[in-house]
C-alpha cells in the first residue's frame, strides 16, 4: 500500500522519469499528507515536506523537512506512523537519539534481525527512519554500501530536519542484504545528532517497549 502511494506521487511529480541515480538534493514539489484520524490529547498540525524516491528495491525514500525542532515526541511518532499509512503507534519502537562526535561512527550493519534472533523476538524490524536532528560537520553521511552511486555507496549527508526511510525486508519478509549501511564519522571536529525509529512486524507491548529502550 505504501509503495503504491509513493509510486503515485512519483508519477505525478517526476513524470515517470527514473530517479534511482539522481542526487537527493534536487528540488521537487512538496507533497501534502492526510490528517490522522486517531484522537489524541495533542493534535499534530499539518506539516508539508518533500519526498524523493531514491531507490525502488529496497524502497529508500529521502524526506526533506520531515521534522521540525518544536515537535513533541507524540507528534513525532504520529508523523512516522502516518507516513507509513497511519500505523498504530504500538508498532513503533521507542525513539532513539544518537550522537556522533568527530571520528565516531556506526560500522556497516543491518537493522533487520537474523533468523536466530527472530526465534527469540518473534517479530522483525520492517522499516527504518534515520532523521538528522543536528549537524555541524563535514562528511558524516549515512551510506548504503551495496547500492552503487557515483563510484561509491549511496550516501546521504546529515542535513538537520531531513530523514531517510527504507524497508529492511524483501517481498518475502526476509532481510534484504542490499540494506547494508553505515553511519560515517563526522570530520573536522564536527558533531551530528540523529533520531532512529524502527517499525516492527508486530505490536510492541508495554513490557517489550521497556526491553528495547
Residue boundaries of the structural domains of the chain: 2-212
pTM: 0.68
What are the beta bridge partners of residue 55? 60
- Which secondary-structure segment (H or E) carries 45? none
Nearest Cα residue to 102 out of 35, 198, 186, 43: 186
Q: Is 48 helix (H, G, I), strand (E, B) or coil?
A: coil
User: Digits of tens for pLDDT over the chain (213 positions)?
Assistant: 566 666 665 555 444 443 444 445 444 444 444 444 344 565 666 778 889 999 999 999 999 888 765 557 788 899 999 999 999 999 999 999 999 998 899 999 999 999 777 766 668 999 999 999 999 888 899 999 999 998 889 999 999 999 999 999 999 989 999 999 999 999 888 999 999 999 999 998 765 555 554
Helices (H), the chain: 2-14, 73-83, 115-121, 206-212
CATH 2.60.120.620 fits 2-212, yes or no: yes
Closest CA to 54 of 186, 166, 211, 208: 166
β 142-149/125-139 pair status: unpaired
Amino acid at each position: 500500500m505504501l509503495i503504491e502511494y509513493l509510486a503515485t506521487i512519483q508519477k505525478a511529480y517526476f513524470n515517470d522519469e527514473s530517479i534511482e541515480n539522481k542526487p537527493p538534493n534536487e528540488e521537487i514539489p512538496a507533497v501534502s499528507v492526510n490528517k490522522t484520524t486517531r484522537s489524541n490529547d495533542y493534535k499534530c498540525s499539518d506539516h508539508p515536506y518533500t519526498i524523493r524516491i531514491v531507490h525502488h528495491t529496497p524502497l529508500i525514500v529521502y524526506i526533506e523537512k520531515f521534522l521540525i525542532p518544536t515537535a513533541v515526541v507524540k507528534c513525532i511518532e504520529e508523523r512516522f506512523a502516518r507516513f507509513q499509512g497511519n500505523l498504530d503507534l504500538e508498532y513503533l519502537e521507542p525513539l532513539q537519539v544518537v550522537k556522533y562526535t568527530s571520528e565516531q561512527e556506526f560500522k556497516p550493519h543491518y537493522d533487520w534481525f537474523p533468523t536466530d534472533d527472530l526465534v527469540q523476538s518473534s517479530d522483525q524490524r520492517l522499516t527504518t527512519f534515520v532523521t538528522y536532528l543536528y549537524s555541524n560537520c563535514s562528511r558524516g553521511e549515512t551510506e548504503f554500501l551495496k547500492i552503487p552511486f557515483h563510484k561509491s555507496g549511496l550516501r546521504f549527508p546529515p542535513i538537520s530536519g531531513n530523514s531517510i526511510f527504507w524497508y529492511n525486508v524483501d517481498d518475502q519478509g526476509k532481510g534484504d542484504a542490499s540494506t547494508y549501511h553505515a553511519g560515517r564519522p563526522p570530520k573536522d571536529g564536527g558533531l551530528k545528532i540523529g533520531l532512529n525509529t524502527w517499525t516492527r512486524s508486530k505490536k510492541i507491548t508495554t513490557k517489550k517497549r521497556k526491553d528495547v529502550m
